[in-house]
Amino acid sequence: MQSVCVFCGSNFGDKPIYRELAAQLGRTLADRGLTLVYGGGNVGLMGVVADAALGAGGRVVGVIPQALVDWDVAHNGLTDLVVVQSMHERKARMADASDAFIALPGGYGTFEELCEVLTWSQLGLHSKPCGVLNIEGYYDPLLALFERAVQDRFLGAEHRDLVLAETDVNALLDRVASYQPVRVMKRLDRRGAGSVKT
């Protein structure tokens, strides 16, 4: 593992611990020699994690669409800033440049990015680890929704286990680094949800 993509909010949130652990994640990535790949912004938790990684001597790659550059939210102090034309291209470039994905607290964009890479993993389009840093129980409701999806047979238990959730930065990075993908093929079963291990 050489690079980690971090999805996170363009706002700070209302608890200081969100900033504190975003900064800790940035520093720890740098300390471990891992490149941070993220959405290229200088605002909210995005700016915090990038500044912390840079301050610790890390390499930071930002990918941002031109529309957000025009809003003047691009981080101009990064190791590399890639400007693309669309949000779709942004996500594809971030995914291609990363060996793992971690979500910090955020809003719709963060949720969507996390669920997209989980879907890609479920479909076998990649086998990269996907984790959430569950600060102050922020992701408890989403994790509960995933459990409900298993219970109601919209999601296989094996695919629920694609989400690596921890409350501690180092514990999460250790799990991400030691992740061993299980080859699970999603199948459509007209009699009910199911998965086939291969």
Q: Taking a C-beta distance cutoff of 8 angstroms, is the pair 9, 107 a contact?
A: yes
- Cα(107)–Cα(73) distance, integer angstroms: 17
The pLDDT of residue 189: 62
- Cα(68)–Cα(86) distance, integer angstroms: 10
Query: Which residues sit opposite 184 in a β-bridge?
Result: 197
> For residue 187, which of 195, 176, 179 has the smallest C-alpha distance?
195
The pLDDT of residue 164: 97
- Measure the CA angle with vertex 112, ends 107 and 113; round to 5°: 105
98 is written with which tokens? Answer: 């990363």
- Cα(133)–Cα(114) distance, integer angstroms: 12
The pTM (predicted TM-score) of the whole model is 0.92
For the chain, give every domain's residue range: 3-197
- Does residue 31 sit in helix, strand or coil? helix
> Which residue's entry shows tokens 């990918």?
63
Mean per-residue pLDDT over the chain, rounded: 93
Query: What tens digit of pLDDT does each residue of 42-52 get?
Result: 999 999 999 99
Instruction: Show Cβ contacts of residue 92 under 8 Å, excluding neighbours closer than 6 positions.
Output: none
The pLDDT of residue 190: 58
> Which residue's entry shows tokens 């992740």?
179
Query: What tens digit of pLDDT does each residue of 47-95 get?
Result: 999 999 999 999 999 999 999 999 999 999 999 999 999 999 999 999 9
Would you tell me the crossing angle of helices 44-55 and 16-31 to the nearest 10 degrees? 40
Instruction: Show Cβ contacts of residue 124 under 8 Å, excluding neighbours closer than 6 positions.
Output: 183, 185, 186
- Does residue 67 sit in helix, strand or coil? helix
Kindly tell me if the per-residue pLDDT of 170 is higher than 80: yes
Domain 3-197 has CATH 3.40.50.450: yes
Query: What tens digit of pLDDT does each residue of 122-163 get?
Result: 999 999 999 999 999 999 999 999 999 999 999 999 999 999
